[in-house]
């Protein structure tokens, strides 16, 4: 995608604005986005992209439970960056900062990711079909064992037939076990 402003550089930023159900999308390169910063954020000079993102980290409620009397003294052992410096810049000094500030980052990550702190990843499309079938097969086998244990033999026979169907589909895709 090319920048909609200069029509020269590749677009690096994608903004979507929805007003009264009407969606508007704009694509800007970094230079044009910086120049149009006031336009993009309603003409308010305090609302730069950096300030907008750093606002996620500056919320007092995020840190109130994790603040210690010596919070200002906390720093990364490798690069000596303090958490306050991170809050101002929005960038860490090194990879060890993630470990050094883990207790302060967890509430932020939970808030940003809807309570999740563990990345699940995505399944590549070329592998997705067989992988989904294998997961389905595993679940069906667990159900079958549960049905047999509970002596629900009619339902177990239905699950057994479903397992055979999934195994057939899996062998057709070449992902059989």
For the chain, the structural domain boundaries read 13-54, 73-121, 125-173
The bridge status of strand 22-28 relative to strand 13-19 is: antiparallel
In the predicted model, what is the mean pLDDT of residues 62-86?
Answer: 68
Q: Is the pLDDT of residue 69 over 90?
A: no
Q: Is the pLDDT of residue 65 over 50?
A: no
Residue 27: CB atoms within 10 Å: 17
Per the structure block, which two tokens stand in for 66?
A: 């994790």
Long-range CB pairs of 11-15, under 8 A, 24+ apart, other chains included: 13/49, 15/40
Helix (H) or strand (E) holding 19: strand 13-19
Residues 6+ apart with CB under 8 A from 100: 74, 75, 76, 77, 78
Q: Is the pLDDT of residue 24 over 60?
A: yes
Length of the chain: 177
Q: Which of 153, 177, 155, 150 is nearest to 166 (CA)?
A: 177
pLDDT, tens digit (0-9, with 9 covering 90-100), for 115-144: 777 766 666 666 666 777 888 899 999 999
């Amino acid at each position: 995608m090319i920048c909609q402003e200069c029509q020269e550089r590749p677009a690096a930023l994608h903004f979507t604005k929805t007003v009264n159900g009407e969606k508007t999308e704009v694509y800007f390169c970094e230079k044009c986005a910086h120049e149009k910063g006031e336009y993009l954020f309603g003409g308010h000079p305090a609302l730069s992209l950096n300030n907008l993102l750093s606002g996620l980290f500056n919320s007092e409620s995020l840190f109130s439970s994790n603040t210690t009397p010596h919070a200002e003294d906390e720093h990364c052992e490798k690069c000596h960056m303090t958490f306050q410096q991170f809050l101002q810049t929005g960038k860490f000094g090194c990879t060890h900062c993630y470990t050094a500030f883990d207790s302060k980052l967890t509430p932020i990550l939970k808030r940003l990711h809807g309570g999740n702190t563990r990345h699940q990843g995505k399944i590549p499309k070329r592998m997705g079909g067989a992988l989904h079938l294998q997961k389905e097969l595993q679940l069906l086998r667990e159900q079958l064992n549960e049905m047999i244990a509970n002596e629900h033999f009619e339902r177990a026979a239905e699950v057994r037939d479903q397992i055979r169907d999934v195994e057939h589909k899996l062998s057709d895709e070449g992902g059989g076990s």
